[in-house]
Amino acid sequence: MRLANIDGRANVVVEGGVIDVATATGGAFGPDLTSCIAQIDAVASAMAGIDGPAVALDDSLLGPPSPHPSQIIAIGMNYASHAEEMGLEVPAMPAAFAKFRSALTGPVGDITLPSDSVDYEVELVLVIGRRTEAVTPQNAWEHVAGITAGQDFSERTVQMAAGRQFALGKSYPGFAATGPWMSTIDEFADPADIGLGCSIDGVQVQDARSSDMIIKIPELLTILSGIITLEPGDLLYTGCPAGVGMGKNPPTYLKAGQELVTWVEGVGEMRHTMV
């Protein structure tokens, strides 16, 4: 199932358009996204076999598939190729940092560049479906409602200005883009091996597979949930592969007028214009 945020209401993406969950289930589920995420299996069962009435998908109405996360957590240096291009050692523990909720945005629209040192970072993002604390690698996937695409936009000057305390440089408005919707785990042939990438004005700049992660998703959730508690709707950015602008010589950052297309296999693509 693919769960989308259409103008603030939960919708399921089907062939030919989208179906409003609350309307299709007679109000049993929805219209809010967070409650659907917390009951994702029940929603999927209720929507199974319902193929209409579908309405045409209006991309301009798409919002973040989890619009009210209590936490947005991101992981740095989780691909060896990215650590190498940045000249940094791979940490023994997950290099976790927060992105503040005010940075959250959807899969289409403008991103305002606050400076000339804003970078792009494609990431596979987990949407948490159940309270997650002290899980194990064996049951970690049971706590994931689905997967979406994410952009971890980064203002590099601010990011590096305070001893690599990343949160502020990662949290300008629009710097936590997610979408175009959330795909449940059964949509993937192998959720441990998913393609992801992005392009700028049609030129591919990042292309990788999630199987290249250093700390795989089950282990990552096990480590994090041993320290913090994740709640339904929380977002976990799982790391960025090689190809970022800061890793080039000389560094090449985003410019006004450029279109950034971000994609995750089995999910879809986001389109953002820099202004």
Has residue 211 got a pLDDT over 90?
Answer: yes
Task: Give the mean pLDDT of 53-79.
Answer: 96
Q: What is the pLDDT of residue 84?
A: 75
Q: What is the pLDDT of residue 96?
A: 94
Query: Are the C-beta atoms of residues 224 and 94 closer than 8 Å to each other?
Result: yes
Quick one: pLDDT band at residue 90, thresholds 50, 70, 90? confident
Instruction: Identify the bridge partners of residue 191 per DSSP, sorted by sequence position.
Output: none
268-274: strand order across its sheet? 108-111, 268-274, 259-264, 195-200, 203-209
Q: What is the pLDDT of residue 271?
A: 98
CB contact set of 115 (below 8 Å; sequence gap of 6+): 155, 157, 158
Peptide bond into 180 cis (omega under 30): yes
Task: Give the mean pLDDT of 55-76.
Answer: 97
Q: What is the pLDDT of residue 119?
A: 98
High-pLDDT (> 90) share of the chain, %: 88
High-pLDDT (> 70) share of the chain, %: 99
Which tokens belong to 86? 């940045």
Helix/strand/coil for 5: strand
Q: Taking Cα atoms as reference points, which of 170, 181, 180, 112 lies closest to residue 146?
A: 181
**What domains sit in the chain, N to C, each tagged with a CATH number?**
2-63 (no CATH), 72-274 (3.90.850.10)
Q: What is the pTM of this model?
A: 0.96
Task: Give the mean pLDDT of 55-67.
Answer: 97
Has residue 257 got a pLDDT over 90?
Answer: yes
The pLDDT tens digits of the residues spanning 134-178 come to: 999 999 999 999 999 999 999 999 998 977 678 999 999 999 999
Quick one: pLDDT band at residue 92, thresholds 50, 70, 90? confident
Name the region of 191 (left: φ>0; alpha: ψ -120 to 50; beta: rest).
alpha
Report strand pairing: 235-237 vs 259-264: unpaired
Query: Are the C-beta atoms of residues 111 and 275 closer than 8 Å to each other?
Result: yes
Alpha helices in the chain (DSSP H): 21-24, 33-38, 40-47, 80-86, 156-160, 217-225
As a whole number, the mean pLDDT across the chain is: 95
The pLDDT tens digits of the residues spanning 217-230 come to: 999 999 999 999 99
Least confident of 16-30, 72-86, 133-147: 72-86
For the chain, counts of helices (H) and of strands (E): 6, 18
Has residue 85 got a pLDDT over 90?
Answer: no
Has residue 87 got a pLDDT over 90?
Answer: no
Q: What is the pLDDT of residue 27?
A: 96
Q: What is the pLDDT of residue 89?
A: 75
Q: What is the pLDDT of residue 53?
A: 85
In single-letter form, the type of residue at position 108 comes to V
